[in-house]
Chain A
Amino acid sequence: MKNLNRRDFLKSTALGVSAVALGATSVKGADKTLSEDRIGILVDTAVCIGCRNCEWACRVAHDMPTKELESYSDNSVFKEYRRPDKTALTVVNQFENEKNPLLPVYVKNQCMHCERPACVSACIVGALTKQADGSVIWDDDKCIGCRYCMVACQFQIPSYDYDKSIDPHIRKCDLCFERRKKEKLPACVNICPNEALLFGKRSEIIQIAKNRIKRKPDEYIDHIYGEFEIGGTSWMYIAGKNFEKLKMPPLGNNPAPGISESIQHGIFAYFVPPVALYALLGTVMWITRRRNGENDEENILKPHDEKGENK
Chain B
Amino acid sequence: MIPWPIKNKFLTPGVFILIIIALNGLAFLSIRFVSGIGAVTNLDNVTPWGLWIGVDVAAGVALAAGGFTSAALGHIFHREDYNVIVRPALLTAMLGYTFVAFAVFSDIGRFYYIWHPLIMWNGNSALFEVGICVMIYMTVLYIEFLPIVTERFIGRVDLPEFLSFLNKPVDNLLRYLDNRLSLTMFIFIIAGVVLSTLHQSSLGTLMVIAGQKMHPLWQTPVLPLLFLLSAISVGFPMVMFESLIASRSFKLKPEMKILSRLGSMVAPIIGVYLAVKLGDLFIRETFKYIFILDTTAWMFIAEMGLMIIAFILFLSKKITSSPLGLFTASTFVIAGVLLNRFNNFVIAYNPFFNPTKYYPSFGEISVTLGCIALLVLVYRTIVMIFPVISQERTDLNKKIVEFYNSKNGR
Binding site for B on A (CB under 8 A): 2, 4-6, 8-9, 11-13, 15-17, 19-20, 30, 81, 83, 85, 118, 120-127, 142-148, 150-152, 154, 156, 158-168, 230, 247, 249, 251, 256-257, 259-261, 263-264, 267-268, 274, 277-278, 281-282, 284-285, 288-289, 291-292, 295, 297-298, 300-304, 306-307, 310-311
Cβ-closest chain B residue relative to A86: B45
A8 to B289, CA, bound (A): 11
B48 contacts chain A at the CB level, 8 A cutoff = yes
B128-163 contacts to A, CB under 8 A, are 128-129, 131, 147, 151, 154-155
- Known contacts A300-B75, A311-B155, A125 near B212 by CB under 8 Å: no
Which residue in chain A gives the minimum CB-CB distance to B32? A165
Binds A, one of B196-204, B232-240, B246-254, B365-373: B196-204
- Does chain A have a CB within 8 A of B278? no
* B80: interface (CB < 8 Å): yes
- Please name the residue on chain B nearest to A162 by beta carbon: B38
Task: Given A163-B39, A292-B80, verify A260-B126 contact (CB < 8 Å).
Answer: yes
The secondary-structure label for the interface of chain B is helix
Give every chain B residue within 8 A of A143 (Cβ-Cβ).
109-110, 113
**Other A-B pairs beyond A144-B117, A152-B210, A310-B400, 7, CB < 8 Å:** A12-B220, A16-B208, A124-B128, A125-B120, A148-B49, A162-B37, A302-B182
- On chain A, the residues within 8 Å of B45 by CB distance are 83, 85, 150, 156, 158-160
Which one of B14-22, B302-310, B346-354 is at the A interface? B346-354
Of B94-102, B187-195, B322-330, B331-339, the one contacting chain A is B187-195
Question: Is B317 on the interface with A (CB-CB < 8 A)?
Answer: no
User: Given A124-B122, A259-B221, A278-B194: A5 and B212 within 8 A (CB)?
Assistant: yes
* Per-residue contact bits, chain B 100-134, to A (CB 8 Å; 1 contact, 0 not): 00000001111111101100111111111101000
Q: Is the C-beta of B186 less than 8 angstroms from some C-beta in chain A? A: yes
CB contact between A247 and one of B131, B189, B353 (< 8 Å): that residue: B353
Chain B residues lying within 8 Å of A2, measured Cβ to Cβ, are: 212, 352
Most central of B72, B209, B355 by chain A CB within 10 Å:
B209
- The yes or no answer to B2 lying at the interface (CB within 8 A) is yes
Q: B27-49: which residues lie under 8 A (CB-CB) from chain A? A: 32-39, 41, 43-46, 48-49
Give 18 A-B contacts (CB < 8 Å), ordered by A residue. Answer: A8-B286, A9-B211, A20-B221, A120-B124, A122-B209, A124-B116, A144-B116, A148-B127, A154-B212, A163-B38, A247-B352, A249-B352, A260-B205, A282-B186, A285-B190, A297-B182, A297-B185, A300-B75
Contact between chains at A124 and B131 (CB < 8 Å): yes
Question: Which residues of chain A are within 8 angstroms of B191 by Cβ–Cβ distance?
Answer: 278
What 0/1 readout, one digit per residue, does chain B (1-31) give for beta carbons within 8 Å of chain A? 0110000000000000000000000000000
Q: Given A142-B116, A148-B127, decide whether A284 and B212 contact each other with a Cβ distance below 8 A.
A: no
B336 to chain A minimum Cβ distance, whole angstroms, is 23
Please, which residues of chain A bring their CB within 8 A of the CB of B80?
292, 295, 300, 303
Most buried by A among B48, B80, B193, B352: B48
Which residues of A sit under 8 angstroms from B75, Cβ to Cβ?
A: 285, 300-301
Report Cα–Cα, A298/B211, bound state, in Å. 49
Known: A144-B109, A165-B32. A13 touches B221 (CB 8 A): yes
Q: A165-B34, A292-B78, A300-B75 are in contact. Are A151 and B209 (CB under 8 A)?
A: yes
What separation, in Å, do the CA atoms of A118 and B190 have in the docked complex? 34
Size of the B side of the interface (Cβ < 8 Å), in residues, is 89
Measured between alpha carbons, how far is A268 from B352 in the docked complex, in Å?
32
Q: Which of A284, A298, A304, A311 has the most CB of B within 10 A?
A: A304
Inter-chain contacts of A295 with B (CB < 8 A): 78, 80
Number of A-B contacts (CB under 8 A): 260
Q: Report Cα–Cα, A123/B122, bound state, in Å.
A: 7
Nearest-Cβ distance from residue B194 to partner chain A, whole angstroms: 5
Determine the distance from Cα of A113 to Cα of B52 in the docked complex, in whole angstroms: 30
Which A residues lie within 8 Å of B154 (CB)? 307
For residue B224, CB closer than 8 A to chain A, the reply is yes
Contact of A160 among B48, B120, B351 (CB under 8 A): B48
Give the chain A neighbours of B402 by CB distance below 8 A.
none
B230 at the interface (CB under 8 A from A): no
List 9 tightest A-B contacts by C-beta distance, closest first. Answer: A145-B109, A16-B221, A162-B38, A288-B78, A150-B48, A147-B48, A125-B120, A304-B2, A145-B110
Is residue B83 within 8 Å, beta carbon to beta carbon, of the partner chain?
yes
Asked, given contacts A19-B221, A165-B35, whether A146 binds B108 with beta carbons under 8 Å apart, the answer is yes
B72, B76, B109, B131: the one within 8 Å of A168 (CB): B109
Chain B residues with Cβ below 8 Å from A284 are 76-77
Residue B285 lies at the interface, judged by CB distance under 8 Å to chain A: yes
Inter-chain contact B109/A147, CB cutoff 8 Å? yes
Of all chain A residues, which has the CB nearest B202?
A267
Query: Is B213's CB within 8 Å of the partner chain A?
Result: yes
Determine which of A9, A158, A311 lies in contact with B212 in the assembled complex, contact meaning CB atoms within 8 Å. Answer: A9
Binary interface encoding of chain B residues 368-400 relative to chain A, with 1 for a CB under 8 A from any of its CBs, else 0: 000000000000000000000000000000001
**Docked complex Cα distance between A301 and B108 (Å):** 37
When C-beta atoms are compared, the residue in chain A nearest to B124 turns out to be A121
With A and B bound together, what is the CA distance between A165 and B37 in angstroms?
A: 7
